[in-house]
Amino acid sequence: MGQWLFDKGDRLLFMGDSITDSNRLYEAMPAGWGSWGDGYVNLLNAYTTALLPEEALMVVNRGVSGNTIVDLGQRWSADALAFNADWITVMIGVNDVWRHFDGTFAQVPLVSIEEFEACYRRLLDQTIPTVKGMILLSPFMVESHLEDAMRQQVDAYRGVVEKLAEEYQLPYGNVQAKVDEFLRHQSSYVLSSDRVHPSLAGHLLIAQTWLETVGIKETNR
């Protein structure tokens, strides 16, 4: 667990796919009711609001369901850079893999691991000079069988994120490791019905990973 990263009043932006989106209200004002969705971003907003009120952190969710890294790149200027966030958390990658398995008959564009890395790298190069920092969360799959074809591909794309975090010296949260530890004790169906979209318990594991990554601040309460 690292040192607490944030200053009072920091603007914390979360970018990602449906796992981040999690039924947020798009028409809600940033950091307004309904804007956080019902997933890990909502849990983190509740944590920072209730237990760290003196920090006055602004938590904003701009995840969009179905996004790949390519989709994220296409909306990055409007949804991320224009917001002037202090810290941007990114969790992306599972759809980049999933479309290789469920997109065959729809003939959707597929994101290769090389394109995934190149797009991710462009976002980092474009963004790091404009913010206090970025936090990278790993893509993950709720699957304990490591030889499963989709799990193996998710692991490969996760390896790219881990490599970039190390190269750019960014805080990195390994959500997959947290999920795998849970699966040593309980069924995958507790965390997800489709191996991708988390239950509330699954979202709590993501929130815990993020808090540990940024250095959970002592509340003394």
> Which one of the listed residues 10, 22, 86, 197 is annotated catalytic?
197
> Which one of the listed residues 7, 102, 125, 194 is annotated catalytic?
194
Active site residue 197: yes
Write out the E strands in 50-150.
58-61, 87-91, 133-137
Active site residue 18: yes
Residue 177 identity: A
The conformation of residue 196, written as its DSSP 8-state character, comes to S
Could you tell me which residues are beta bridge partners of residue 136?
90, 172
Residue 112 identity: S
φ/ψ of residue 87, rounded to 5: -135, 135
Q: How many CB atoms lie within 10 A of CB 171?
A: 19
Contact 168, 128 (CB under 8 A): yes
Inter-CA distances, 186 with 69, 171, 180, 181, Å: 31, 28, 10, 9
In the chain, what's the furthest Cα-to-Cα distance? Answer: 55
> Which one of the listed residues 10, 17, 18, 96 is annotated catalytic?
18
The conformation of residue 215, written as its DSSP 8-state character, comes to -
Annotated catalytic sites, by residue?
18, 194, 197
